[in-house]
Structure 1
Amino acid sequence: MPYLTSAVLAAALCGFILLGLRARWVDGTVDDYITARNSQSGATLGLSFLASGMGAWILFAPPEIGAFVGPVALAGYAIGSALPFIVLGLYGPAIRRALPEGRSIAEFAQACYGTGVRRWVSLVSVAYMACFLAAELTAIGAITALLSDVPPAAVVLGVALSTLAYTVLGGLRASLATDRWQAWLLVALLLIVSSVAFTHLPTMPSVSSMPSAPLSEALSVALTLVIAVTAANLFHQGYWQRVWAAQDAGSLGRGAWLGGGLTIVVVMVIGGLGILAAMSGVELGNPPMPFFALLANAPAWLAMLALVLAVTLVASSVDTLQNAIASLMVSQHEQQGRSLITARWLTVALMLPVVIIALQGLSVLRLFLIADLLCAAIVVPVLLGLWRHMSAMAAIGGGLAGLLGAVLPGWFANGSLEAGLLAATFPGGIPTLGPFLGALCASTLVSVGLAMARRFRAH
């Protein structure tokens, strides 16, 4: 069985390599390498948004939220996962008009506010995406150990090297090409795994109720997830690349709504399995993993399909992140040939520390939450960049206020700055609403306040 599983995984990864390499432009420019400018239809973008946004996290987080907090919080998670696509779909046409030759969120920040804000935005974006990469590769190692006898390190390295093989050579076009197939594959595998796991559920107890936390708690969790996931994913350079990859504004809008709608459906379906697992009374494990608990009563071959599903999920997000990080790091002022070489080597170099971290099997949830909070503190000032009254001072002031706002709820609740700082680093890896809401409200109020003060002074 380990040999069969290894062969199936190898075949899937080789298939992704072939699809990616077929899509590359041999003599493409560095601009095409990192933007595939004006080339993608709405349908392609929709599938790409779905595939690049879905990762191994959907096999862990939505089922657990469904099993322990209930459908209200799960709906918040689904909306939060889809909202970044919708925001870019609505806001993207204005970004394209203001910055027709743009490439990244960092260039958008520079055009609006200057070099200082660009560097800060780039740092936050790279930190977030590096956490995302480490989390995905760590997760596939854990899933491999859980579902098979294949060495986890072999699968981690296999995913990292195979995605590098086509992103280094093919750039964004290769990632977009594989996204289309990976999106259909993950939907098909998810349907098969979910339906078979459902049919092998233990008989429902005669008295069973849907898991649901108190409404106030469920709404708090839902709002926390909407803010955290939306703010963080708006710093996902891979999504910004697709703003300029779209054929036109209409294609971007259609792709965003398609990707967002499919994302909501996928998250709700996989989270619904967690609800069913809790209602059926199966042992959810320690730590709890409702999705994988469902596989305990299913046929052995289903574990192999679930592992292929996990590898597909990870590969689809990893290749997007690899190209996204490289695109942020490439200087637009270098000579074209040298820039393309730089982009390729940076993609390889940035994967080395990420793979090393992933092979340690560490939990990255707390780092993820801290990165989400940094994004929440500055997302509104950045997106307000096209408002004519905004200034670099207003953006910087709003960002600093957002950082302070993240600390204030814990400070007031516990009576000390130290306690506020600790609460803003999420001890135990538990997401709480206070820091996120404080960061978002403070950054918005201060940014808008400083911008309006500048407007009044001008008059």
Structure 2
Amino acid sequence: MLYLTLAVLGAALCCFAYLGLRARWVNGPLDDYVTARNSQTASTLGLSFLASGMGAWILFAPPEIGAFVGPLALAGYALGSALPFIVLGLYGPKIRRALPEGRSIAEFAEACYGPGVRRWVTLVSIAYMACFLAAELTAIGAITALLSDVPPALVIIGVALTTLIYTAAGGLRASLATDRWQAWLLLVLLCVVGGMALWRLPTIPNEAALPAIPITSALSVALTLVIAVTAANLFHQGYWQRVWAAQDDQSLGRGAWLGGAMTVVVVMVIGGLGVLAAMSGVPLGEPPMPFFALLSDAPVWLTLPALVLAVTLVASSVDTLQNGIASLVVARSEQQGVSLVAARWVTVVVMVPVVLIALQGLSVLRLFLIADLLCAAIVVPVLLGLWQRMTPLAAIVGGIAGLLGAILPGWLSQGSLVAGMVAASFPGSVPTLGPFVGALIASTLVSVLLAYLTLAIRKDVHDSNSSDHP
């Protein structure tokens, strides 16, 4: 059975590599390597948003939230997962018109505020995507150990190398080509595996009830997830690349809404399995993994499609992240020929520490939450760059205020600055609302107030100069 599993997983990865390499543009310029500018239809973008946004996390987080917090928090998670696409669908056309030759959120930040803010945004974006990469590869190792006898390290390295081959060679076009097929494959496999998991579900007792937690707690978790996931994913360079990859504004808008709608459905369906698992009384495991609890002691004809599903989910997100990080690092390079070589080497080099971290089998949930909070602290000042009154000083000070605002709730409630900093680092890897709300409110208020104050000072100076020189 070990060799059958290896053969099936190897065949799946070889198919992804073939599709990606077939789509590469060997002699294309660097700009095409990192943006595939003005080339993608709405349907391709919609499937790509779905595939690149979905990862192995959907087999862990939504079912657990559904099982322990309930449908309300699950709906918040689904909305938070789709909202970044919708935001880019709404604001993307305006960003394309303001920055027609743009490539990234960092270039958008530079166009609005200058190189200082660009470097800060680039650092945050790379840190977030590196955490995402490590989490995905760690997850596929854990799933492999749960569902098969295949050594987890073998699958981690296999996924990393396979995606590296076609993303290093073909850039964004290769990622987009594989996304289309991976999206359809993961939808089919989700239906098959989800349907069979439901079939194996024990009869739900008549007295079974939905997870019982206070409505205020469920709302708090839902709001936390919406803020955290939305803010962080707006710094996902892979999504921003697709803003300029769209054929036109209409394709971008329709693709974003299509990807968002499919994402909501997928997250709600897979999370719903967690709700049903909890209601049926199935042992959820320790740590709890409701989705995989439904597959415990399942025959190989069911565990094998589930493992292929997990590999598909991970590969579709990893290739997007690889190309996204490379595009951020080399986007400023002026010499086109050298830049393309540099882009490929960056794609290779960045995977070395990520794979080493993934092989340790560490939990990265706390790192994810910290990265999410860092993004939440600066997301509003960055997006306010579309506002004509916004200034670089207001953006930088607003971002700093957002970081301080994240610490403030814990500081006030526990009476200690150190306690506030600890609370903002999410001890126990538990998502809490206070730091995210504090970061958003502080960054928004300070940015807007400072922008208005700067405008008033400039007006006073202008009026003073005008009166001095009639």
Distance 1:33 1:207 in 2: 57
> What does residue 277 of structure 2 align with?
277
Shift in Å, 1:339: 0.3
> What does residue 216 of structure 1 align with?
216
> What does residue 198 of structure 2 align with?
198
Matches within 5 A, 1:253-292: 253-292=253-292
> What does residue 464 of structure 2 align with?
none
Matches within 5 A, 1:41-440: 41-296=41-296, 298-440=298-440
Distance 1:38 1:69 in 2: 42
Letter of the 1:403 counterpart = L
Q: Secondary structure of the residue that 1:295 maps to in structure 2? A: coil
* TM-score relative to the length of structure 2: 0.97
Unaligned runs of 5+ in 2: 460-470
Distance 1:298 1:360 in 2: 27
Query: Is the contact between residue 71 and residue 212 of structure 1 (CA under 8 Å) also seen in structure 2?
Result: no
Distance 1:274 1:401 in 2: 38
Bigger shift: 295-304 or 388-397?
A: 295-304
Query: Is the contact between residue 90 and residue 253 of structure 1 (CA under 8 Å) also seen in structure 2?
Result: yes
Shift in Å, 1:169: 0.3
Letter of the 1:215 counterpart = I
Shift in Å, 1:354: 0.1
Residue by residue over 1:282-335, the C-alpha shift from the partner in whole angstroms, topping out at 9 and shown as x without a partner, is 000000000000012643321111110000000000000000000000043331
Distance 1:131 1:200 in 2: 35
Q: Secondary structure of the residue that 1:296 maps to in structure 2? A: coil
Distance 1:148 1:83 in 2: 35
Identical-pair percentage: 78
Query: Is the contact between residue 201 and residue 297 of structure 1 (CA under 8 Å) also seen in structure 2?
Result: no
Distance 2:444 2:4 in 1: 54
Shift in Å, 1:443: 0.3
Distance 1:306 1:299 in 2: 11
Query: Is the contact between residue 103 and residue 331 of structure 2 (CA under 8 Å) also seen in structure 1?
Result: no
> What does residue 32 of structure 1 align with?
32
Unaligned runs of 5+ in 1: none
Shift in Å, 1:202: 1.0
Aligned residues: 459
Distance 2:71 2:331 in 1: 45
Distance 1:5 1:194 in 2: 20
1:443 aligns with 2:436: no
Distance 1:28 1:332 in 2: 17
CA RMSD in angstroms, aligned pairs only: 0.7
Letter of the 2:14 counterpart = C
Letter of the 1:397 counterpart = V
Query: Is the contact between residue 196 and residue 298 of structure 1 (CA under 8 Å) also seen in structure 2?
Result: no
Distance 1:440 1:302 in 2: 44
Query: Is the contact between residue 410 and residue 424 of structure 1 (CA under 8 Å) also seen in structure 2?
Result: yes
1:15 aligns with 2:21: no
Q: Secondary structure of the residue that 2:294 maps to in structure 1? A: helix
* TM-score relative to the length of structure 1: 0.99
Letter of the 1:14 counterpart = C
Query: Is the contact between residue 329 and residue 346 of structure 2 (CA under 8 Å) also seen in structure 1?
Result: yes
Query: Is the contact between residue 376 and residue 436 of structure 1 (CA under 8 Å) also seen in structure 2?
Result: yes
Query: Is the contact between residue 110 and residue 117 of structure 1 (CA under 8 Å) also seen in structure 2?
Result: yes
Distance 1:265 1:11 in 2: 29
Query: Is the contact between residue 31 and residue 37 of structure 2 (CA under 8 Å) also seen in structure 1?
Result: yes
Letter of the 1:450 counterpart = L
Q: Secondary structure of the residue that 2:296 maps to in structure 1? A: helix
Distance 1:433 1:299 in 2: 41
